Chain A
Amino acid sequence: MARDIDIREGIDWTTVWLYAALVFFGWLNIYAAVYNPENPITIFSTSHNAGKQLLFISSTFVLILIILFVDYKVYDSFAYIFYGFIILLLIATIFLATEIKGSRSWIKLGSTFSLQPAEFSKIFTSLALARFLSTQGVNISKVRDAIVAGLLVFVPPIIIILQKETGSALTFAAFIAVFYREGLPGIYPALGIALAILFVLVLFFDKFYVVAGLAAVCGLFWYVFLKRYERTRQNLVRLGGVFIIASAFVFGVKFFTTNVLQPHQQKRIQVLVNPDSDPLGAGWNVTQSRVAISSGGVIGKGYLQGTQTKFDFVPEQSTDFIFCTVGEEWGFLGSVIVILFFAALLNRIINLAEKQRSKFSRIYGYCVASILFFHLLVNIGMTIGLMPVIGIPLPFLSYGGSSLWSFTILLFIFLKLDAHRSYKV
Chain B
Amino acid sequence: MTSRYTLNQKFRTNPPVSGPFPAINIGNFDTHVLPNGLTVIFVENRKLPKVAFQLIINHDPIREGSHAGLADLAGELLSRGTDSRTKAQIDEAIDYVGAKLQSNRSGIFGSVLTKYQSDFLEIFQDILLNASFPIEEFNKIKTRNKSRLQTVRTEPSEMAYNLCSRVTYGETHPYSDVLTPETLENITPNACKNHIVENWRPNCSYLAVVGDFDKDSILRQLDPIISSWLPIEVTKRKYAQPELPEHTRICIVDRPGAVQSELRVVYPIDLHPSNPSRISASVMNHILGGGAFSGYLMSNLREDKGFTYGAYSTLHVDHVCAEFKAVTSVGTDVTVPAAEEIFKEMHRIRNEPVSNEHLVLAKNSMIGSFARSLENPQTLANRVLNMLRFNLPQDFYHRFADNLARITSDEIQQSANNYIFPDRAYLCIVCDYEVLQKELANSFPESSVSRFDHFGRPL
Chains A and B belong together in one complex:
no
Contacts from A to B (Cβ < 8 Å): none
Contacts from B to A (Cβ < 8 Å): none
